[in-house]
Amino acid sequence: MNNNHQNYFMTVRTEVVLQICQFLDIKSYLQLRLVNSDMDFIVKLINKQKINEIRFRLINLQEDNEEILKCRNLIEQDKQKLRQDWTSIFNKIYFIEIKALSSPPQILLEIIKYFVFLMNPIDQLSKDNYSYWVLYKQLVANLNILIIRIFEFEPERISKNKLEILQQIYEFNQKYIRLRLDGIEFMYQYVVSIIEVRKRDYYDIYYNYQTKLQEYQKMIKQLQKLQQKLQDEIQLQ
């Protein structure tokens, strides 16, 4: 019995293999090396092709920027208007007064939850309201940094998923008024003002553009890293 294993994939012409592999994602085609070390030369060819392909996409994405520039300008106008509105109702004493509360009411915790959720780079909302109270006090402990973050917030970085979760805050509209806390009024109006601008169509256009841009840049870095690794292996042979 012949135990020699034949790699039938290697009997296919290189140009055909390249045509097939162009439909694979990066993770899939990098795994070719794990299948058989004979695949190294194919991986090198594909790697070069993939880098050129992604660079071409990246160039096209960056060149087709007339609409993106328009979106960017509209977003900057929104942020300037938001800062003006926030300045008229902001006072840092609000945050200190709320932090001093020994037992915050449930409705206050609800508003704080969405404020802290907005300020943090996360897309999942915890059901533990008290954990957001702890995070709030940590934010206020560095009040000057928090103020900078408030006034330099970038609504265009909010994902669609996060935007959808944030809109749950509307459920508490008017309910917080009976507490007569200026701080809770500011936090509610702050979150709502960001939601209202982020819902505009040009934010989605810009967000999708930035997401693609980051994906392409990440893919190029991965491929360049592999290319350097392959080159180092050649030098060691």
pLDDT over 90 percentage in the chain: 45
Higher pLDDT, 191 or 228: 191
Under a CB-based contact definition with an 8 Å cutoff, are residues 157 and 209 in contact? no
pTM above 0.85, yes or no: no
Say if residue 15's pLDDT is above 70.
Answer: no
What pLDDT is recorded for position 232? 64
Place of tokens 């819902």: 199
Give backbone dihedrals phi and psi of 50, rounded to 5 degrees, phi first: -65, -45
CB atoms within 10 A of CB 111: 27
How long is the chain?
237
pLDDT digits (tens, 9 = 90+) for 42-84: 555 556 666 666 666 666 666 667 888 899 999 999 999 999 9
The CA-atom distances, in angstroms, between 22 and each of 80, 97, 184 are 45, 60, 54
What pLDDT is recorded for position 90? 94
Burial class (CB in 10 A: 0-12, 13-18, 19+), 9: middle
Helix (H) or strand (E) holding 8: none
Under a CB-based contact definition with an 8 Å cutoff, are residues 136 and 115 in contact? yes
Q: According to the 3-state scheme, what is the secondary structure of 27-46?
A: HHHHCHHHHCHHHHHHHHHH
pLDDT digits (tens, 9 = 90+) for 108-144: 999 999 999 999 988 889 888 899 999 999 999 999 9
